[in-house]
Amino acid sequence: MESPSNRILHLLSLLQTGGEWTVDDLAERLEASRRTVRRDAQRLRDLGYDVRSRPGPGAAYRLHPSTKIPPLLLDADEVATIITGLLVLETWTPGDPSASIARAKLEQILPPTLRRRAAATALSTQILQTDPTPVDFTLVGTLSDAVAHGSRVAFDYIDQHGCETHRTVEPYRHVLRQRQWYVIAYDIDREDWRLFRLDRMRDARMLPGVHAGREFPFDSIEGWLTSDFGRVGGAG
Protein backbone atom coordinates (compact mmCIF):
# COMPACT_ATOMS: atom_id res chain seq x y z
CA MET A 1 0.00 0.00 0.00
CA GLU A 2 1.24 3.49 -0.83
CA SER A 3 2.22 6.00 1.83
CA PRO A 4 -0.42 8.71 2.49
CA SER A 5 1.54 11.42 0.63
CA ASN A 6 2.20 9.17 -2.38
CA ARG A 7 -1.43 8.05 -2.39
CA ILE A 8 -2.67 11.65 -2.46
CA LEU A 9 -0.32 12.47 -5.33
CA HIS A 10 -1.63 9.38 -7.14
CA LEU A 11 -5.21 10.53 -6.54
CA LEU A 12 -4.37 13.98 -7.88
CA SER A 13 -2.79 12.50 -11.00
CA LEU A 14 -5.90 10.40 -11.66
CA LEU A 15 -8.24 13.38 -11.26
CA GLN A 16 -6.03 15.47 -13.54
CA THR A 17 -6.72 13.08 -16.43
CA GLY A 18 -10.18 14.66 -16.63
CA GLY A 19 -13.74 13.45 -16.34
CA GLU A 20 -15.48 11.92 -13.35
CA TRP A 21 -14.06 9.13 -11.24
CA THR A 22 -16.38 7.09 -9.06
CA VAL A 23 -15.32 6.45 -5.49
CA ASP A 24 -15.23 2.72 -6.22
CA ASP A 25 -12.92 3.18 -9.22
CA LEU A 26 -10.60 5.42 -7.23
CA ALA A 27 -10.56 3.01 -4.30
CA GLU A 28 -9.60 0.17 -6.64
CA ARG A 29 -6.85 2.17 -8.38
CA LEU A 30 -5.44 3.43 -5.07
CA GLU A 31 -5.85 0.09 -3.29
CA ALA A 32 -7.60 1.94 -0.48
CA SER A 33 -11.00 2.04 1.17
CA ARG A 34 -13.86 4.30 0.07
CA ARG A 35 -13.46 6.19 3.34
CA THR A 36 -9.77 6.80 2.61
CA VAL A 37 -10.62 8.13 -0.85
CA ARG A 38 -13.09 10.61 0.64
CA ARG A 39 -10.57 11.71 3.25
CA ASP A 40 -7.83 12.19 0.64
CA ALA A 41 -10.19 14.15 -1.62
CA GLN A 42 -10.92 16.47 1.30
CA ARG A 43 -7.21 16.92 1.93
CA LEU A 44 -6.77 18.00 -1.69
CA ARG A 45 -9.54 20.55 -1.14
CA ASP A 46 -7.78 21.78 1.99
CA LEU A 47 -4.63 22.27 -0.09
CA GLY A 48 -6.51 24.47 -2.55
CA TYR A 49 -7.53 22.04 -5.31
CA ASP A 50 -11.10 22.48 -6.56
CA VAL A 51 -12.25 18.87 -6.18
CA ARG A 52 -15.99 18.57 -6.76
CA SER A 53 -18.16 15.62 -5.83
CA ARG A 54 -21.41 14.06 -6.97
CA PRO A 55 -23.20 12.46 -3.99
CA GLY A 56 -25.42 9.43 -4.04
CA PRO A 57 -24.99 5.70 -4.65
CA GLY A 58 -22.70 6.38 -7.61
CA ALA A 59 -20.65 9.02 -5.80
CA ALA A 60 -17.92 10.47 -7.98
CA TYR A 61 -15.19 13.10 -7.97
CA ARG A 62 -13.76 15.41 -10.61
CA LEU A 63 -11.11 18.12 -10.58
CA HIS A 64 -12.41 21.49 -11.73
CA PRO A 65 -9.91 23.81 -13.50
CA SER A 66 -8.94 26.73 -11.29
CA THR A 67 -6.81 29.84 -11.65
CA LYS A 68 -5.66 29.46 -8.06
CA ILE A 69 -2.32 27.70 -7.73
CA PRO A 70 -2.40 25.41 -4.67
CA PRO A 71 0.75 24.76 -2.65
CA LEU A 72 3.10 22.02 -3.76
CA LEU A 73 2.75 18.64 -2.08
CA LEU A 74 6.36 18.56 -0.91
CA ASP A 75 7.93 17.96 2.47
CA ALA A 76 11.10 19.57 3.80
CA ASP A 77 13.41 16.73 2.74
CA GLU A 78 11.98 16.72 -0.79
CA VAL A 79 12.52 20.49 -1.05
CA ALA A 80 16.14 20.07 0.06
CA THR A 81 16.63 17.37 -2.57
CA ILE A 82 15.22 19.53 -5.38
CA ILE A 83 17.23 22.60 -4.35
CA THR A 84 20.45 20.58 -4.19
CA GLY A 85 19.82 19.15 -7.65
CA LEU A 86 19.21 22.62 -9.08
CA LEU A 87 22.41 23.88 -7.43
CA VAL A 88 24.34 21.11 -9.17
CA LEU A 89 22.89 22.18 -12.52
CA GLU A 90 23.64 25.85 -11.79
CA THR A 91 27.28 25.01 -11.15
CA TRP A 92 27.62 22.69 -14.11
CA THR A 93 25.92 25.05 -16.58
CA PRO A 94 27.30 28.50 -15.74
CA GLY A 95 26.29 29.97 -19.10
CA ASP A 96 22.64 28.94 -18.85
CA PRO A 97 20.35 30.63 -16.28
CA SER A 98 17.56 28.00 -16.52
CA ALA A 99 18.41 26.21 -13.27
CA SER A 100 18.81 29.39 -11.20
CA ILE A 101 15.55 30.82 -12.60
CA ALA A 102 13.75 27.56 -11.79
CA ARG A 103 15.10 27.66 -8.23
CA ALA A 104 13.97 31.25 -7.75
CA LYS A 105 10.47 30.45 -9.04
CA LEU A 106 10.21 27.40 -6.80
CA GLU A 107 11.20 29.40 -3.73
CA GLN A 108 8.53 32.02 -4.53
CA ILE A 109 5.64 29.54 -4.42
CA LEU A 110 6.74 27.54 -1.37
CA PRO A 111 4.97 28.15 1.94
CA PRO A 112 7.10 30.00 4.54
CA THR A 113 8.42 26.93 6.39
CA LEU A 114 9.55 25.19 3.22
CA ARG A 115 10.91 28.45 1.83
CA ARG A 116 13.17 28.71 4.87
CA ARG A 117 14.37 25.12 4.29
CA ALA A 118 15.09 25.95 0.63
CA ALA A 119 17.07 29.07 1.61
CA ALA A 120 18.99 27.15 4.27
CA THR A 121 19.87 24.41 1.79
CA ALA A 122 21.11 26.93 -0.78
CA LEU A 123 23.13 28.82 1.87
CA SER A 124 24.82 25.74 3.30
CA THR A 125 25.55 23.87 0.05
CA GLN A 126 28.66 24.36 -2.06
CA ILE A 127 28.95 22.44 -5.33
CA LEU A 128 32.51 22.13 -6.62
CA GLN A 129 33.04 23.07 -10.24
CA THR A 130 33.76 19.97 -12.33
CA ASP A 131 33.65 21.62 -15.75
CA PRO A 132 31.30 19.26 -17.62
CA THR A 133 30.13 20.13 -21.08
CA PRO A 134 27.24 22.64 -20.76
CA VAL A 135 23.86 21.20 -21.62
CA ASP A 136 21.39 22.88 -23.97
CA PHE A 137 18.11 22.72 -22.05
CA THR A 138 16.13 23.59 -25.19
CA LEU A 139 17.56 20.47 -26.81
CA VAL A 140 16.87 18.44 -23.66
CA GLY A 141 13.26 19.65 -23.81
CA THR A 142 12.92 18.64 -27.47
CA LEU A 143 14.28 15.16 -26.75
CA SER A 144 12.07 14.80 -23.66
CA ASP A 145 8.94 15.74 -25.62
CA ALA A 146 9.88 13.27 -28.35
CA VAL A 147 10.29 10.44 -25.83
CA ALA A 148 7.00 11.30 -24.12
CA HIS A 149 5.00 11.55 -27.36
CA GLY A 150 6.66 8.74 -29.31
CA SER A 151 8.05 11.11 -31.94
CA ARG A 152 11.20 11.10 -34.00
CA VAL A 153 13.88 13.79 -33.98
CA ALA A 154 15.97 14.95 -36.92
CA PHE A 155 19.28 16.77 -36.51
CA ASP A 156 22.70 17.37 -38.03
CA TYR A 157 25.52 15.62 -36.23
CA ILE A 158 29.27 16.16 -36.17
CA ASP A 159 31.09 12.98 -35.12
CA GLN A 160 34.44 12.65 -33.35
CA HIS A 161 36.26 12.86 -36.69
CA GLY A 162 34.58 16.12 -37.68
CA CYS A 163 32.32 14.51 -40.29
CA GLU A 164 28.80 15.92 -40.51
CA THR A 165 25.77 13.72 -41.17
CA HIS A 166 22.02 14.11 -40.99
CA ARG A 167 20.29 11.77 -38.56
CA THR A 168 16.72 10.76 -37.86
CA VAL A 169 16.28 8.93 -34.58
CA GLU A 170 13.80 7.71 -32.02
CA PRO A 171 15.17 9.04 -28.69
CA TYR A 172 15.07 6.69 -25.74
CA ARG A 173 16.95 8.35 -22.86
CA HIS A 174 19.46 11.16 -22.34
CA VAL A 175 22.22 10.47 -19.85
CA LEU A 176 25.13 12.21 -18.15
CA ARG A 177 28.21 10.07 -18.62
CA GLN A 178 31.75 11.06 -17.68
CA ARG A 179 30.74 14.75 -17.56
CA GLN A 180 29.24 14.61 -21.07
CA TRP A 181 25.53 14.64 -21.95
CA TYR A 182 24.38 11.99 -24.44
CA VAL A 183 21.14 10.74 -25.93
CA ILE A 184 20.55 7.04 -26.50
CA ALA A 185 18.41 6.63 -29.59
CA TYR A 186 17.46 4.22 -32.34
CA ASP A 187 18.96 5.46 -35.63
CA ILE A 188 16.32 4.94 -38.32
CA ASP A 189 18.66 4.92 -41.33
CA ARG A 190 21.29 2.70 -39.71
CA GLU A 191 18.70 0.42 -38.07
CA ASP A 192 20.69 0.33 -34.87
CA TRP A 193 20.92 1.78 -31.37
CA ARG A 194 23.38 4.64 -31.14
CA LEU A 195 24.81 7.11 -28.63
CA PHE A 196 24.98 10.80 -29.57
CA ARG A 197 26.69 13.62 -27.72
CA LEU A 198 24.29 16.51 -27.22
CA ASP A 199 26.95 19.17 -27.84
CA ARG A 200 27.56 17.73 -31.32
CA MET A 201 23.90 17.93 -32.35
CA ARG A 202 22.71 20.88 -34.43
CA ASP A 203 19.26 22.10 -35.52
CA ALA A 204 17.37 19.35 -33.70
CA ARG A 205 13.64 19.30 -34.38
CA MET A 206 10.81 16.95 -33.51
CA LEU A 207 9.15 15.46 -36.59
CA PRO A 208 5.37 15.16 -36.94
CA GLY A 209 3.77 11.80 -36.35
CA VAL A 210 3.63 9.29 -33.52
CA HIS A 211 5.37 5.93 -33.48
CA ALA A 212 4.99 2.93 -31.22
CA GLY A 213 7.63 2.90 -28.52
CA ARG A 214 10.63 0.78 -29.49
CA GLU A 215 11.78 -1.57 -26.75
CA PHE A 216 15.37 -1.13 -25.63
CA PRO A 217 16.83 -4.58 -26.39
CA PHE A 218 19.43 -4.70 -23.62
CA ASP A 219 19.11 -5.52 -19.94
CA SER A 220 20.11 -2.03 -18.82
CA ILE A 221 21.57 1.21 -20.10
CA GLU A 222 24.58 0.76 -17.82
CA GLY A 223 25.24 -2.70 -19.20
CA TRP A 224 24.97 -1.50 -22.78
CA LEU A 225 27.34 1.41 -22.20
CA THR A 226 29.98 -0.79 -20.58
CA SER A 227 29.79 -3.66 -23.10
CA ASP A 228 30.94 -1.86 -26.25
CA PHE A 229 27.31 -0.88 -26.97
CA GLY A 230 26.13 -4.46 -27.15
CA ARG A 231 28.87 -5.14 -29.75
CA VAL A 232 26.39 -4.32 -32.51
CA GLY A 233 25.78 -0.61 -32.12
CA GLY A 234 28.09 2.21 -31.33
CA ALA A 235 28.54 5.85 -30.68
CA GLY A 236 27.08 8.25 -33.19
Taken in order of first residue, the domains within the chain and their CATH numbers are 4-63 (1.10.10.10), 76-124 (no CATH), 137-235 (2.30.30)
pLDDT given at position 67: 54
At residue 235, does pLDDT exceed 70? no
* Bridge partners for 167 per DSSP: 155
Query: C-alpha 161: how far from its chain's center?
Result: 33
The answer on pLDDT for 129 being more than 90 is no
- Give the C-alpha separation, 21 to 27, whole Å: 10
Total-model pTM: 0.56
Predicted confidence at residue 91, as pLDDT, reads: 81
pLDDT at position 232 is 47
- How confident is the model over 81-96, as a mean pLDDT? 83
Nearest one of 108, 94, 12, 20 to 61, comparing CA atoms: 20
- Predicted confidence at residue 112, as pLDDT, reads 81
Label residue 178 exposed, middle or buried (CB < 10 Å: 0-12, 13-18, 19+).
exposed
Instruction: pLDDT band for 61, please (50, 70, 90 cuts).
Output: very high
Contact 100, 108 (CB under 8 A): no
Report the alpha-carbon angle 73-85-199, nearest 5. Answer: 130
Question: Which one-letter amino acid corresponds to residue 66?
Answer: S
